[in-house]
Amino acid sequence: MPEAASQDTPSDLRRSISVTELFTIGIGPSSSHTVGPMRAAHAFAEAALEAQSPVRVRCELFGSLSLTGRGHATDNAVVLGLAGHLPDAVDPDAVPQILHSVHADGRLKLGGRVPIAFSMEDVLFSHAFLPGHPNAVRFTAVGSDGSEFTRTYFSIGGGVVVEEGAGLQIANAAVAHPFASGAELLELGQETGLSIGEIVLRNECAWRSHAETDAFLDAVRGAMLASIERGCATDGILPGGLNVRRRAKGLHGTLTARSDRAAPASVMEWISLWALAVNEENAAGGRVVTAPTNGAAGVIPAVLKYYESFVEGATPEGSRMLLATAAAIGFLYKKRASISAAEMGCQGEVGVACSMAAAGLAAVLGGTNQQIENAAEIGMEHNLGLTCDPIGGLVQVPCIERNTMGAVKAVNAAYLALHGDGSHIVPLDAVIETMRQTGDHMRFEYKETSLGGLAVNVVAC
């Protein structure tokens, strides 16, 4: 099967990316398969209402959105989006009732305003891959006069949506310290005397005030920690049919009852618990932070919680710096490769999150820019080739446990880098390019299609 071309172009290397694009608050289970399609459906509903008087809408899912769409709740996501809901605003607890009403009534309010006929049979699954990206969705609105209004969108990773033919509709900003590679980032640090996180925070002033950026990062931190708390307090069976039991609540009880909370083995278990909690929330459709994706949403929160719980002298400013530094690394992966598992496999999700988290932790532990870059490189180097092969198309097995591995590996990478002087054989830019090449050469069966790996060697029952 031919590979779909990436949406990235050489000109994208110079586009400035904000932390508000990289970190977004939404719902699970997937940024590319749930959050992105919901945003696309919402955008289409608004466009269709402006263009005509729709009486019916149909939706066609293509490629990876089709192959794993049911397991990722993509069909439900497009219904929510068409009905006027967005992932950062919809109440996760209200979603079942919203969907039930559509099923029962055979109608929805397009854009939350105009009633139209609609049933789940209007959501079609096609295993064909469209040129442009493996994650494609096409909407068609039928007007009262029989006219049709059609738009196609690509969900390119991290919840970002591109309309076919329109390109990425995000305004570029003239930032103070632009960079498009790890090498440029290190050069900027040498020229300005700023840390990597400080460079990011200075650049954010092109979009908003410093205080507003701090408030945004505090909100991201709060949402991350809230997802940990909810995950640690909730048990039961995850939806989807695999009968996966939530484990975070039980593990939390076990660890809390221990007397020596800071024993080395216990620390590792706490990190695993926090990642587990977030990704169980994600799998249940709960509120999480896309960081940089939902499938990898537990890695950075777990490392952030480790910093705040176990690192002496942790401060709110330190938490912001951890997130800002992690964002710098995420920008590089978005510019130079992809964070879409449908393009890169899971190395583009958990691998990137591990690299980001390692850099962020190294920064707040006092690392130099060279050590931070080294930590990011280590975090990815040992995730190269990681496939995306979810059993049953669900973001559960191996996705949930994979986040625990990514979080523990990120902490290890940070400390390993701090034991060196920042010099190393493989630069971050080289490992990002290697990830991109590996993703390009990876068979499509291993890129979020559930047609290879564990997905076909383990019976989903």
Side-chain-side CA neighbours of 374 within 13 Å: the count stands at 19
Picking from 124, 140, 183, the residue whose alpha carbon sits closest to that of residue 335 is 183
Burial classification of residue 264, based on how many CB atoms lie within 10 Å of its CB (0-12 exposed, 13-18 middle, 19 or more buried): exposed
Q: What pLDDT was estimated at residue 114?
A: 96
DSSP string, 398-452: THHHHHHHHHHHHHHHHHHHHTS-S--SS-HHHHHHHHHHHHHHS-GGGBSSSSS
- Report residue 308 as tokens: 């705040």
Residue 163, H or E segment: strand 160-163
CATH of domain 29-163: 3.30.1330.90
Please tell me the predicted confidence (pLDDT) of residue 1.
44
Instruction: Output the six-digit token pair for 251.
Output: 């593990």
What whole-number distance in Å separates Cα of residue 432 and Cα of residue 345?
A: 14
Query: Residue 184 is encoded by which pair of tokens?
Result: 């440029």
Q: What is residue 263's predicted lDDT score, i.e. its pLDDT?
A: 84
Residue 118, Cα to own-chain centre: how many angstroms? 30
Q: Which residue has the tokens 């969900």?
A: 155
Instruction: Provide φ and ψ at 112, rounded to 5°.
Output: 75, 10
pLDDT of residue 173: 82
Query: At which residue do the structure tokens 């069976």 appear?
Result: 237
261: helix, strand or coil = coil
pTM of the full predicted structure? 0.94
Which part of the chain has CATH 3.30.1330.90? 29-163
Alpha-carbon Rg for the chain in angstroms = 21
Contact yes or no for 276/404 (Cβ under 8 A): yes
Give the tens place of pLDDT for each residue, 146-193: 999 999 999 999 999 999 988 665 557 899 999 999 999 999 999 999
pLDDT at 169: 58
Which of 334, 394, 343, 356 shows the shortest CA–CA distance to 30?
394
Percent over 90 (pLDDT), the chain:
92
* Residues of the chain below pLDDT 70: 1-12, 167-171, 460-461
Beta carbons within 8 Å of 297's beta carbon, 6+ residues apart: 28, 227, 278, 279, 282, 288, 289, 290, 291, 353, 403
Q: What is the pLDDT of residues 348-394, one digit of tens each?
A: 999 999 999 999 999 999 999 999 999 999 999 999 999 999 999 99
157: left (phi over 0), alpha (psi -120 to 50) or beta: left
* Confidence at residue 11, expressed as pLDDT on a 0 to 100 scale: 41
Q: How long, in residues, is the chain? A: 461
pLDDT at 8: 43
